[in-house]
Amino acid sequence: MKTTANILKSARYLFRDKGYEQTSIEDITEMADIAKSTFFKHFPNKESLLIGIAEEEITDVLQLMDEPHYHSTHTFGKIKLIMTRLLEDSAPYLQLTGRVVFTSIMNQNEQDTPYLKIRNILKQLITEGQENGEIKQAVNQSEIVTLIMGSYYGILFRWLEDDVNVGTTTELSNMLELIFNGITEE
């Protein structure tokens, strides 16, 4: 587990600093101070590192969901916490995050991609919100999840377009507030 984390950390820094295409497996093994054979015991290829990086983000979200302040808030608060954490973790690595998002979405033929895990977490929260009367029953859960994920991806891709002008999580909070205002039970 420690070796896997070391490989992912090295890859993340190299992908950010050199770019994904310019980073070789040799660069990663050198920075991680491991043999090439050790790398291949953990990852079959360079692209699989992207899924590994996305999986680390899921682990981070799951840890957030175990924190006491997460459990003491309402459905919208939980969604904001999760999406803000994802955005904060993504901001320092915009180019890499764009590639990770694309790879994760394109690998949906697998049962349990990071993309699907986040969607399922959000869908579960929407279900809970509908059951406890916070969210209108008539609103389709998948559509709400798509709007929430779309706001996250929209901000990421706008920041990628701007290249150096990374905004703040306030943008995401504002977008989520607009969504929540439209689906709240009155």
Specify the pLDDT at position 90.
82
The dotted CATH code for 1-45 is 1.10.10.60
φ, ψ for residue 134 (rounded to 5)? Answer: -80, -30
- Best CATH choice for the domain 46-183 from the list 3.40.50.300, 3.30.200.20, 1.20.1630.10, 1.10.357.10: 1.10.357.10
DSSP letter at 34 equals: -
Dist CA 82 CA 173 (whole Å): 11
pLDDT per residue as tens digits for the range 109-146: 656 778 888 999 999 999 999 999 999 999 999 999 99
Specify the pLDDT at position 132.
92
Chain-centroid distance of CA 164 in Å reads 20
CB 89 within 8 A of CB 60: yes
pLDDT per residue as tens digits for the range 84-107: 999 888 877 777 777 777 776 666
Nearest to 53 by CA among 92, 109, 111: 92
- Say which residues have a Cβ less than 8 Å from residue 147's Cβ, sequence separation at least 6: 179
Dist CA 157 CA 1 (whole Å): 32
Cite the residue boundaries of each domain of the chain with CATH code 1.10.357.10: 46-183
Where do we find the tokens 């919208």? Answer: 76
Average per-residue pLDDT in the chain? 88
Nearest to 167 by CA among 88, 82, 114, 73: 88
Cite the residue boundaries of each domain of the chain with CATH code 1.10.10.60: 1-45
